[in-house]
Amino acid sequence: MFRPGAFSAIKYPLLGFSSLGGGSGVATVGFALAVARMNADRGLVMGLLNTTIYAGLSIAPIIAGLFTDILSFEKLFIANGFILVGALILKE
């Protein structure tokens, strides 16, 4: 999957990070709309969703930082790509 925001952030940080933030905002609103159509306790589901989003945003950098002594940033980036591809494959 091509991410123009990530690539443009290298040369044009304002444009790149703005598009990344906009994409994240659209995804978050999409999650809320999906939860609204679920046949479940919507408050509980949104609470769990927000908890996992913030837990991932706070814990993932710490875990990645633990591996920087063992692996280079390039290898961590490649490993992250493999994890993403694996998640996309297992989604179905």
Which tokens in the block code for residue 91? 């989604």
Do 30 and 48 share a domain, yes or no? no
Nearest-angstrom CA–CA distance, 4 and 17: 10
Number of domains the chain contains: 2
Q: Encode the chain (92 residues) as per-residue pLDDT tens digits.
A: 556 666 777 777 788 788 878 888 888 888 888 888 888 888 888 888 888 888 887 887 788 788 888 888 788 878 878 887 887 788 66
* 72 and 92 fall within a common domain: yes
Same domain, 58 and 13: no
Question: Residue 5: its pLDDT value, please?
Answer: 65
For residues 80 and 92, the answer to whether their CB atoms sit within 8 Å is: no
Residues 68 and 82 in one domain: yes
**pTM of the predicted protein model:** 0.49
Are 46 and 33 contained in the same domain?
A: no
